[in-house]
Every structure is written in structure tokens, then in C-alpha cells.
């Protein structure tokens, strides 16, 4: 299956192979799990594609929003976790708002993003995933997110630096940073919040995990 997808050379095309079983190997386990965890009636979807038509970034996704819902119904978990869709989604909630059956499409994609982050799957959109991660790292350190510190930490990540140099964007973005500093839009030093320590302690005690 994997090799056949690679052979087409087009990642935007996601066609199930003939050998594939229609329903996921574990029956509707995945569907029930998603429905239970986010209280979304995924089964109600009748593929009218209104979510995909409302989505502002659907043309950058490899699995379109209405397909995501279908994939969940079929239990194709791995395909979803490997997709770019879950990272490209902006959580702008257009899809959920306009769904005639009140399927919570945005929440479903967001939940899949949660699952992907806690799994061992390498995210397809590494930069977007790393940005979220850096954001939380800064948040954990200082309680408030300072854009200057955030961008510093983000660009110091070896992966990001490598990507930016390769694509030739680095100079442009450094110049933008300088322009913003000159305009006073980036402040290197801002107040921190002490409350974050309590929040983290409480969170770790309640959930037994640190994010």
C-alpha cells in the first residue's frame, strides 16, 4: 500500500487500494472512540461536502474535511495521523458551523491532531507541528508568550533553520523581524506570570502527563 502511494508520486491523491478492506481492521472501534471522546455525531455525515467548500485551506489538504469524516467512519486511523490535513487545519470552525447535520468537523480534526501529537507518527507538516510545540515550551517557561522569545526559540530549532535556509526564506524573515523591532512591535523583555507553576502542578497531578 505504501509503495503504491509513493509510485503515483502525488501526495494529494489519497486513493484506497483495491486490496484494502473497506472497514478498518478493528471494526468501528475508532469511530466509537472519536464519537465518545468529543461528543461528535460523526455517523450523521452524508457527504454533502459543505465543510470542504467552506474550508479556506482545503486546497492545501491531502485529505479533505468531508473525507476526514469518512475516514473516521471507516476507521482508517493511520492515514489520518499521517495526513497534512490535521496540521494545515486552522480551527476557524467554518466546517462545524455550516454542517447541516451538526457534525463537529473542526473538533474532530483537532482531536486527531491531539492523537497524532501523542503518537509516534512523524507529522507531515513538521514546521507547523514544531511551531505549536515551541509555543507551549515558551508558555511553560514564562507563563506568557512573548513573540520575540517565541520566534527566537522557533528559529533556533535545527529542523526549522535547515528548512528556512533550504527554501531561501531566512533572509526575508530576518529582515521582517528587524523591521518589526524597529517599529516597536517586538518587545524582547516583558513581564512573566508566576501562576503557570501552579497550573502545571495541578495539570500534572490531574492528568499524570506533561505537555
- Between 57 and 161, name the residue whose CB sits nearer to another protein: 57
Q: Are 40 and 104 in contact (CB under 8 A)?
A: yes
Give the three-state DSSP class for 143: coil
Note every long-range contact of 24-29, with CB atoms under 8 Å and residues 24 or more positions apart, other chains counting. 24/74, 24/75, 24/76, 24/77, 25/75, 26/75, 27/75, 28/73, 28/75, 29/75
Residues at the contact surface with another protein, assessed by CB under 8 A: 56-57, 60, 88, 90-94, 96-97, 106, 110-111, 113-114, 117, 125, 127-128, 130-133, 135-136, 139, 143-148, 151, 154, 169, 176, 179-180, 183-187, 190-191, 193-196, 198-199, 202-203, 205-207, 211
At its nearest, how many Å lie between another protein and the CB of residue 86?
Answer: 9
Q: Which set of grid coordinates corresponds to residue 27? A: 471494526
- Between 43 and 148, name the residue whose CB sits nearer to another protein: 148
- Between 47 and 190, name the residue whose CB sits nearer to another protein: 190
At its nearest, how many Å lie between another protein and the CB of residue 17?
Answer: 29
Amino acid at each position: 500500500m505504501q509503495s503504491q502511494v509513493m509510485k503515483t508520486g502525488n501526495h494529494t491523491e489519497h486513493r484506497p487500494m483495491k486490496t484494502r478492506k473497506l472497514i478498518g481492521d478493528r471494526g468501528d472501534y475508532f469511530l466509537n472512540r472519536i464519537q465518545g471522546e468529543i461528543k461528535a455525531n460523526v455517523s450523521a455525515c452524508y457527504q454533502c461536502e459543505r465543510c470542504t467548500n467552506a474550508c479556506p485551506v482545503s486546497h492545501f489538504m491531502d485529505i479533505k474535511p468531508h473525507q476526514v469524516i469518512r475516514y473516521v467512519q471507516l476507521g482508517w486511523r493511520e492515514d489520518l495521523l499521517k495526513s497534512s490535513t490535521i496540521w494545515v487545519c486552522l480551527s476557524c470552525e467554518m466546517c462545524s458551523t455550516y454542517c447541516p447535520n451538526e457534525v463537529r468537523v473542526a473538533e474532530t480534526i483537532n482531536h486527531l491532531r491531539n492523537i497524532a501529537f501523542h503518537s509516534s507518527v512523524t507529522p507531515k507538516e513538521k514546521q507547523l507541528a514544531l511551531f505549536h510545540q515551541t509555543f507551549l515550551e515558551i508558555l511553560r517557561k514564562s507563563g506568557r508568550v512573548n513573540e520575540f522569545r517565541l520566534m527566537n526559540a522557533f528559529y533556533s530549532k535545527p529542523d526549522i533553520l535547515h528548512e528556512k535556509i533550504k527554501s531561501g526564506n531566512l533572509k526575508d524573515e530576518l529582515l521582517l523581524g528587524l523591521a518589526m523591532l524597529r517599529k516597536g512591535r517586538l518587545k524582547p523583555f516583558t513581564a512573566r506570570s508566576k501562576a503557570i507553576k501552579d497550573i502545571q502542578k495541578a495539570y500534572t497531578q490531574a492528568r499524570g502527563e506533561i505537555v
